[in-house]
Structure 1
Amino acid sequence: MSLTECQLELKKLLLMELTMTNTTITNQNPELTKIHINQLLDQLIVDYQNTKSDRKAISAEFSISEAEFTVLEEIELLTTDIRGYANQIKVIGYLENVQEKIRILQKMRVFDIPIIAQLYFHTPGKYENFKSYLRMLDYLRLLILEYLNLSQAIS
């Protein structure tokens, strides 16, 4: 993937994030957002299982890294955090320390992590199931942010 193509893909992802985070609160319903979170969480569990062959190939290709964590370890950390927040919303309907969680989720941009960006933008035509999983994981992060902001607005 050329630098220009990478920049275009990054712009699309940023636009998706801006669209999600700048949604007018008065037009949104936190319960509807919660339903979307639950559906996406369930779908992500299935999608993750379907990335087994991609993960195996990624592990082989990206096994040697100067980074603190391998690309798969970075993704596991994100997955644990994001899906963990979604599970809490699904089970109990809220998160403790909402402001802190909002701040954490705003900083937790999947494609800002260099090793993940390298995998995503510099492997054209490879790992498409896994790349789709990453996009949906980031979308789940944005939905959780929306839910937290909406819930706060009506509290």
Structure 2
Amino acid sequence: MSEAVLNEREATKTHIVHLLDEIKIAYQNIQRERKEIVANFRPSNEEFSLLEEIELLTVTLRGYANQIQAQGWIINETQAMEQLREIRVFRIPVIVQFYFGSNGKYEQIKGYIRMLDYLRLLMLEYLQYEQVN
């Protein structure tokens, strides 16, 4: 890899680590809204509830980000890239319904969802540096 690409890759890793820290804080800050969602949103006919979908995204994305933070790479990188490409946060029906259907409410959780999606995109970019160069 050229020095410029290495610098870009390292900058992307720095962004991932910074965003991971922000996500950890944001996760603590959404607890009140999570309780409101449990009380106000009935489970849909989807396989997973809204909060379960958010938890699945959180565990998957933070897991990959923690690997990048700790070692600079991800175990089973090809499989991870495929999974990151397949995850389309705003194509998950229960998330779309919540995000666009709760006008002006639950802004912290909406922000958290956006942060997770941005983390996904940053990790894809980070992993693609290796394949391109």
Q: 1:54 aligns with which of 21, 30, 33?
A: 33
Percent of aligned pairs with the same residue? 51
SS at match of 1:29: helix
Distance apart, 1:148 and its partner CA: 0.2
The TM-score normalised by the length of structure 2 is 0.91
2:107 paired with 1:128 = yes
Structure 2: segments with no counterpart, 5+ residues: none
Residue deviations 1:105-127 (CA, integer Å, cap 9, x gap): 01101111000100101000000
Aligned equivalents of 1:42, 1:63: Cα separation in 2: 31
Aligned equivalents of 1:77, 1:115: Cα separation in 2: 13
Q: Which runs of 4+ in 1 moved over 3 A?
A: 25-28
Equivalenced residue count is 130
Q: 2:124 aligns with which of 145, 150, 154?
A: 145
Match of 1:29 in 2: 8
Aligned equivalents of 1:28, 1:119: Cα separation in 2: 39
Aligned equivalents of 2:128, 2:7: Cα separation in 1: 10
Give the AA of the match of 2:131.
Answer: Q
Equivalent positions of 1:52-91 (< 5 A) are 52-91=31-70
Match of 2:22 in 1: 43
Aligned equivalents of 1:68, 1:90: Cα separation in 2: 32
Aligned equivalents of 1:79, 1:147: Cα separation in 2: 18
Match of 1:5 in 2: none
2:95 paired with 1:116 = yes
What is the CA RMSD across the aligned residues, in angstroms?
1.7
Aligned equivalents of 1:78, 1:64: Cα separation in 2: 18
Match of 1:10 in 2: none
Give the AA of the match of 2:38.
Answer: S
Distance apart, 1:99 and its partner CA: 1.9
